[in-house]
Structure 1
Amino acid sequence: MTIVACTDFSEIAENSVNYAGIIAKITGSKLILYHSYTLPLHVSNTILPVTSFEKLINNTYHKLEKRAQSLSKLHDIEVVAECSFSGFEDQLAFLIKKYRATLLVMGMARKSLEQDLLGNTTSSVIKNIKIPVFAVPGGVEFNEVKKILFACDTPLLVPPSILKRIKKTAQNLGAEVEILSIEEELNELEANTTPNESFNNTDTYLEGINYYYKNVRSNTVIETIKKEIQNIQADILIMMPRQYGFWEALVHRSKTRVMASGLSIPLLSLPV
Structure 2
Amino acid sequence: MMGTILVATNFSKTSDNAVLYAAHLAKLFKAKLVLFNVFKLPVHASNTWLSAESMDAMVAVNRNRLKEQALGLSEEFGITVDYECRIMDLEREIDSLMEIHKARFLVMGMSAKSMEQNLMGNPTTTLISMKKFPVLAVPVNAKFMGIDKILFACDLMQGIPLRILVRLKQIALGLKSEVTVFYVEQKLDELKEDNDVFEHIDRGLENVVHFYKKVNSDKVIWEIEKEIIDSNSNLLVMIPKKYGFWESLIHRSKTREMASGLNIPMLSIPID
- TM-score range relative to shorter protein: over 0.9
1:179 aligns with 2:181: yes
Report the counterpart of residue 52 of structure 1 in structure 2: 54
Classify the secondary structure of the residue corresponding to 1:222: helix
Report the counterpart of residue 8 of structure 2 in structure 1: 6
Measured in 1, the distance between the counterparts of 2:194 and 2:232 equals: 25
1:95 aligns with 2:97: yes
Q: Which moved more, 1:126-135 or 1:224-233?
A: 126-135
Contact 2:184 2:215 in 1 (8 A): yes
Report the counterpart of residue 205 of structure 1 in structure 2: 204
Measure how far apart 1:152 and its partner are: 0.8
Report the counterpart of residue 250 of structure 1 in structure 2: 249
Measure how far apart 1:101 and its partner are: 1.1
Alignment of 1:145-184 (within 5 A): 145-154=147-156, 157-184=159-186
Unaligned runs of 5+ in 2: none
**Which deviations, in whole Å up to 9, do the C-alpha atoms of 1:165-218 show, x marking residues without a partner?**
221111111111111111224698x3xx42533311111121212111011121
Measured in 1, the distance between the counterparts of 2:148 and 2:82 equals: 30
Measured in 1, the distance between the counterparts of 2:220 and 2:107 equals: 25
Contact 1:178 1:211 in 2 (8 A): yes
**Which deviations, in whole Å up to 9, do the C-alpha atoms of 1:3-61 show, x marking residues without a partner?**
11000100010100011111111111111111000111232233444433321111111
Unaligned runs of 5+ in 1: none
Measure how far apart 1:155 and its partner are: 7.3
TM-score computed with the length of structure 2 as normaliser: 0.93
**Which deviations, in whole Å up to 9, do the C-alpha atoms of 1:128-168 show, x marking residues without a partner?**
15221111100211102221111011177111111112211
Report the counterpart of residue 129 of structure 2 in structure 1: 127
Measured in 1, the distance between the counterparts of 2:253 and 2:211 equals: 25
- Counterpart of 2:5 in structure 1: which amino acid? I
Alignment of 1:71-86 (within 5 A): 71-86=73-88
Give me the identity figure in percent. 42
- Counterpart of 1:247 in structure 2: which amino acid? W
**Which deviations, in whole Å up to 9, do the C-alpha atoms of 1:224-272 show, x marking residues without a partner?**
1000111111111010000111000010021001111120100011111
Partner residue of 1:143 out of 145, 168, 180: 145
How many aligned positions are there?
269
1:30 aligns with 2:32: yes
Measured in 1, the distance between the counterparts of 2:256 and 2:114 equals: 14
TM-score computed with the length of structure 1 as normaliser: 0.93
1:17 aligns with 2:16: no
